């Protein structure tokens, strides 16, 4: 058996399965099974097919609860999203129902509204599996999968096949990470909060340390009360003190010489900690000693992941002290140092930048050859090149980077020109950016009219530049998302093969992976992560000279990995 479609019946243990050949054509009739989990478990043990799932995130958690682990799958929803974006229909609904409706020429249902309605209806046991035209869900899944295979075969960019496979594997990883959870010591977290904020205050009152800092800010302004949470209040306070500022952002405040700056900056940092990872967060998100966020694969336009609540992608360093491996276990923390500059060097085929990328710290290597050893200038230049900075401190150093590495800079500047003129750009594997917005189109149309005003022409240039900045970064950031998706798939395959028994992927953010494993296999788990990074590099870039370091650090405490 090569492939097998599986669709659960709503509010039931039953479901449907159908075997398919490698072209997505049925090998036999639809089978109705009374116990879907057991049927999937039996077939996984016997044949290990490539499972075809309407959406892995809907069914796989249920299988994991019964300790049924799937080796491979095709996620129809994620695949549809990649295909419709590639075809220029970016942002169209991508669910099974929407894909089926498009295939049959029926009105396409909206994905967003039904998601909320289905969640509500499910509470009352209502059936929500009906599809446009009254099709049976398993028949629709078979037809949509076959159509997706045909569309993939017609795509000239063969890398999209790899991306579809890696994205589907990522959906399995996401469900498995939620089930495993990131080890989290509640007692240590409480100790961190007490150390930084003071005792837990009564509901509705600020922590003691925030009150103390607010008092220090007031004293610095001669006793006049200032609300540190109000940017307008802060701006007015400094203006009254003879230091007019345009905003209360931290980087603006750091330029000032005033006694209120230090307590204000500390207040901002601790207020964020209290709001994002304070006592309420701890009670909401930590269960049974684990942090289990709800991951969204490809939730950002560039292909990066997102989460629903919990702030998993922004865990402050102070709070990481609470992430401690279980007794007899270790954490493996592996991250790709300066991933996006390395991606750019490999994408562009810039041999000079590839030489710099041989170093673990790419910014220091760039500084040595182009910025007289000044790492900070090298970093500003690289980030400015990637994100399209054109003013301030970035402009002169970007010029120096362009002179030293013209091939790499030309690559992103070409992507920027494509964006400015309304074209779409793609990642190396074919992940496609959104088309120009309606606002962009209207601005360009008004500017092209006879007698267009200077204001209209200025707005058209600005919207063009804005989109160019987006597309110049998209080609790099989206390819980085491609690389990490392939890495996760490669790492998961190694762990399933038993290279480090008991090791689990428990956390992922952008370019960092955390594994939790028994002490005795920590070295093997770290090695698996490094090998997976090497495989991802080879599959995307072939025999590139660019180095992608991904060495796993073996630690008991997450905070010790930095």
Instruction: Report whether pLDDT(499) > 60.
Output: yes
pLDDT tens per residue across span 364-394: 999 998 898 999 988 988 988 998 876 666 6
Percent of the chain with pLDDT over 90: 82
Q: What is the mean pLDDT of residues 240-255?
A: 93
Residue 405 φ/ψ region, left for φ over 0, alpha for ψ in the -120 to 50 degree band, beta for the rest: beta
Tell me which of 90-99, 264-273, 282-291, 481-490 is least confident. 90-99
Q: What does the block give as tokens for 307?
A: 């989460």
Has residue 314 got a pLDDT over 90? no
Calculate mean pLDDT across residues 464-474: 95
37: confidence class by pLDDT, cuts 50, 70, 90: very high
Position 420 pLDDT exceeds 90: yes
218 neighbors 543 (Cβ within 8 angstroms): no
The CA-atom distances, in angstroms, between 390 and each of 382, 442, 458 are: 12, 25, 17
Counting beta carbons within 10 angstroms of the beta carbon of residue 26, is it exposed (0 to 12), middle (13 to 18) or buried (19 or more)?
middle
Region 331-347: what's the mean pLDDT? 95
Choose the weakest-confidence range: 20-24, 264-268, 327-331, 491-495: 20-24
Q: Would you place residue 127 in the very low, low, confident or very high pLDDT band (cuts 50, 70, 90)?
A: very low
Average pLDDT over residues 249-273: 95
pLDDT of residue 260 exceeding 60:
yes
pLDDT value of residue 392: 61
Confidence of residue 125 (pLDDT cuts 50, 70, 90): very low
Q: How many Cβ atoms from other residues are within 10 Å of residue 498's Cβ?
A: 11
Whether residue 115 has pLDDT greater than 90: no
Strand, helix or coil for residue 181: coil
Neighbour-count burial for 222-231, b at 16+ CB within 10 Å, e otherwise: eeeebebeee
Q: What is the pLDDT of residue 439?
A: 92
Report whether pLDDT(80) > 70. yes
For residue 26, pLDDT over 60 is answered with yes
Give tens-digit pLDDT for 502-546.
999 999 999 999 999 999 999 999 999 999 999 999 999 999 999
- Residue 390: predicted pLDDT: 66
pLDDT range class, residue 119, cuts 50, 70, 90: very low
Q: Is the pLDDT of residue 123 over 50?
A: no
The pTM assigned to this predicted structure is 0.92
Which tens digits make up the pLDDT trace of 552-562?
Answer: 999 999 999 97
Q: Helical H runs in 241-387?
A: 250-253, 261-277, 279-285, 339-348, 351-356, 362-370, 375-387
* pLDDT for residue 203: 87
Is the pLDDT score of 25 beyond 50?
yes
pLDDT > 70 fraction of the chain, expressed in percent and rounded: 96
> How many Å apart are CA 447 and CA 545, to the nearest integer?
45
pLDDT of residue 126 exceeding 80, the answer is no
- State the pLDDT confidence band at 147, using cuts at 50, 70 and 90: very high
Average pLDDT, the chain: 92
């Amino acid at each position: 058996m090569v492939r097998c479609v599986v669709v659960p019946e709503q509010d039931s243990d039953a479901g449907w399965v159908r075997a398919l050949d490698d072209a997505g054509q049925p090998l036999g009739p639809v089978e109705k099974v009374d116990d879907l989990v057991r049927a999937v478990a039996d077939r996984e043990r016997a044949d290990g097919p490539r499972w075809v799932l309407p959406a892995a995130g809907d069914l796989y958690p249920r299988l994991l609860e019964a300790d049924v682990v799937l080796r491979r799958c095709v996620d129809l929803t994620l695949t549809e999203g990649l295909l419709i974006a590639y075809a220029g229909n970016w942002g169209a609904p991508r669910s099974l129902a929407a894909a089926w409706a498009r295939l049959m020429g029926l009105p396409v249902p909206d994905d967003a509204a039904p998601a909320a309605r289905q969640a509500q209806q499910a509470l009352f046991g209502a059936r929500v599996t009906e599809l446009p035209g009254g099709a049976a869900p398993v028949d629709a899944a078979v037809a949509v999968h076959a159509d997706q295979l045909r569309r993939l075969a017609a795509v000239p960019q063969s890398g999209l096949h790899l991306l579809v496979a890696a994205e589907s594997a990522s959906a399995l990883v996401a469900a498995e990470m939620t089930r495993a959870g990131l080890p989290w010591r509640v007692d240590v977290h409480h100790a961190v909060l007490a150390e930084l904020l003071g005792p837990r205050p009564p509901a509705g009152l600020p922590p003691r340390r925030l009150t103390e800092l607010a008092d220090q800010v007031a004293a610095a302004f001669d006793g006049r009360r200032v609300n540190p949470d109000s940017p307008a209040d802060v701006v007015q306070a400094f203006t009254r003190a003879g230091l007019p500022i345009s905003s209360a952002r931290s980087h603006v405040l750091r330029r000032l010489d005033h006694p209120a700056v230090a307590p204000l900056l500390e207040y901002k940092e601790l207020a964020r900690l209290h709001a994002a990872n304070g006592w309420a967060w701890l009670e909401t998100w930590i269960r049974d000693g684990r942090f289990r966020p709800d991951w969204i694969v490809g939730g950002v336009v560039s292909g990066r992941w997102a989460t629903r609540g919990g702030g998993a992608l922004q865990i402050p360093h102070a709070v990481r002290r609470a992430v401690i491996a279980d007794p007899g276990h270790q954490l493996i923390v592996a991250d790709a140092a300066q991933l996006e500059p390395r991606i750019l060097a490999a994408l562009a085929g810039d041999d000079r930048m590839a030489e710099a990328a041989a170093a673990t710290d790419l910014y220091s290597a760039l500084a040595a050859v182009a910025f007289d050893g000044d790492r900070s200038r090298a970093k500003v230049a690289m980030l400015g090149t990637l994100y399209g900075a054109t003013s301030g401190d970035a402009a002169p150093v970007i010029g120096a980077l362009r002179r030293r590495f013209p091939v790499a800079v030309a690559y992103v500047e070409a992507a920027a020109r494509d964006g400015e003129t309304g074209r779409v750009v793609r990642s190396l594997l074919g992940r496609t950016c959104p088309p120009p917005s309606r606002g962009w189109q209207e601005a360009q149309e008004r500017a092209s009219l006879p007698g267009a005003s200077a204001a209209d022409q200025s707005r058209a240039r600005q919207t063009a530049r804005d989109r160019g900045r987006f597309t110049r970064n998209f080609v790099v950031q989206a390819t980085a998302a491609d690389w990490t998706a392939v890495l996760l798939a490669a790492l998961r395959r190694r762990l399933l093969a038993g290279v480090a028994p008991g090791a689990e992927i428990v956390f992922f953010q952008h370019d960092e992976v955390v594994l939790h494993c028994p002490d005795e296999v920590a070295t093997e788990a770290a090695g698996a992560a490094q090998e997976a990074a090497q495989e991802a590099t080879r599959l995307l870039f072939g025999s590139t000279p660019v180095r992608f370091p991904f060495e796993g650090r073996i630690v008991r405490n997450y905070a010790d990995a930095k």
